[in-house]
Amino acid sequence: MLPPSAHPPSRPKTLAEAKDHIASIHQRVTSVETLPLQACSGRCLTQDVVASIDIPPYDVAAMDGYAVRSADLDAEGRADLRVIGEIAAGHPSYREIGTGEAAHIYTGAVIPPGVDRIIPQEHCVRRSTHVAVSARVGGKPHIRLSGEDIVSGQTVLKAGTKLGPGQISLLTALRFEDVIVQRRLRVALLSVGDELAETSSSVKHGGIVDSNRPMLRGWLEQLGCEVVDLGIISDASGLLLQALVDAAATSDLIITSGGASVGPADYLARLIVTRGFLEFWKLNMRPGKPVGFGDIDDCPILALPGNPFAAAAAFTILGRFLISRLAGGTETPSLTLPLARAVSKEGSHLQVLAGKLATADAGMTTVEPLKQQGSASMLAIGSADGLILFPEHQRQFEIGEPVEFVAL
């Protein structure tokens, strides 16, 4: 019953080896596409973006006040000027402001010819057709010069940047309408198990609701993937094989949970061996040990454990890396944080614990393992801020010792 005798001779056994192995055989598979800017949230740029206009595009008033010529001010910065009109934002005036003249101007309005200074409203006293202005000698001109933020020709965003609201705002201001971005990685997602039900109303006696798929779907969507949700497949090798073959034909990656262990009803590893290649199966980590990786019809497949916390751990520390590799982005970096309490572990495996961020006395952020742990713990998944990784070859970890923390 036990799968793979077909492992490559030096198949990876640790998380680090698994990542190196993935990096050595997989690279970006996604091509590029051009999308309207409004549809680009969460997408990654495939090339640097160069500004083709200045920001601001014109010299504009930085304050509400009066637009004046500095040459009209006396040694104390005062003048009594004739007001020739108003200039509001979006309504530029092309009439030159002459000697002894001023215009009432509002923030964002284009500076008219002749003007080199705005005197803020609060330093001006208006008397019908005239205004008495009083500038602070040596004070700012309160004009935002064209190109003072961004000059045309400047590289504003680098290839690989993920577009969030800030970047989309910047590109909008620069008047981009279409952007060239990476196509989303298409990930087929399925759960394997006779006991699994789609909803609470369809759970049979002895069954449970499939809670892995909503979790994995959510994380995949957060990572910018296009998820092809294939639902639940029962523990039947024929059905499972058909689902995998169909998924392989239309996807960039298949992610499964469940059915990848060593039980007689766990068909995944055996199916991968018969239809493709099993690169590795079982890593020296807990939870998350029964994780398999290979391909079916040349489509990479990541077989996660069924146990929910184990699936969460294997996805977070291995799946995210694989996706960044295939989609061409960078993996979210982990943090190094001091431990809030001592931890001892048995055995020389990578131990993954659910952790919560805490604040120590000096205001420093620390990370504390939750009381509830274990590969099947739903509470750990629901309450953790992230995962704490305790490396293979160390058994005792002291309070305050720096550890690796990966946010969930």
Segment (H or E) for 216: helix 212-222
For residue 384, the minimal CB distance to ligand AMP (Å) is 17
Contact footprint for ligand AMP (CB under 6 A)? 191, 193, 195-196, 208, 210-213, 257-261, 263, 266, 305-308
46 binds, among Mg ion, ligand AMP, none (CB under 5 to 8 A by kind): none
Residues 184 and 326: beta-carbon distance below 8 Å: no
Query: Beta 117-120 vs 65-68: how paired, if at all?
Result: antiparallel
For residue 213, the minimal CB distance to ligand AMP (Å) is 6
| Of 45 and 302, CB closest to ligand AMP | 302
For residue 262, the minimal CB distance to ligand AMP (Å) is 9
Q: Which residue is nearest to ligand AMP (CB)?
A: 306
CB atoms within 10 A of CB 7: 17
Which 54-93 positions form the footprint of Mg ion (CB under 5 A)?
none
Backbone angles phi, psi at 188, to 5 degrees: -85, 130
| Of 263 and 382, CB closest to ligand AMP | 263
Per rule CB under 5 A, is residue 4 in the interface with Mg ion? no
For residue 252, the minimal CB distance to ligand AMP (Å) is 22
| Of 30 and 191, CB closest to ligand AMP | 191
Which 298-337 positions form the footprint of Mg ion (CB under 5 A)?
306
Q: Which residue is nearest to Mg ion (CB)?
A: 193
For residue 206, the minimal CB distance to ligand AMP (Å) is 10
> What residues are paired with 166 via a beta bridge?
none
Judged by CB under 5 A, the residue of 193, 290, 328, 355 near Mg ion is 193
276-291: burial string, b at 16+ Cβ within 10 Å, e else: bbbbbbbbbbbbbbbb
308 binds, among Mg ion, ligand AMP, none (CB under 5 to 8 A by kind): ligand AMP
> Tokens 């000027």 identify what position?
81
134, two tokens:
């009083």
Q: What is d(CA 317, CA 291) in angstroms, rounded to the nearest whole number?
A: 11
> Tokens 């530029």 identify what position?
92
Q: What is d(CA 116, CA 70) in angstroms, rounded to the nearest whole number?
A: 6
Residues 64 and 115: beta-carbon distance below 8 Å: no
Which 200-259 positions form the footprint of Mg ion (CB under 5 A)?
258-259
Q: What is d(CA 58, CA 108) in angstroms, rounded to the nearest whole number?
A: 9
314, two tokens:
């294997």
Binding site for Mg ion (CB under 5 A): 193, 258-259, 306
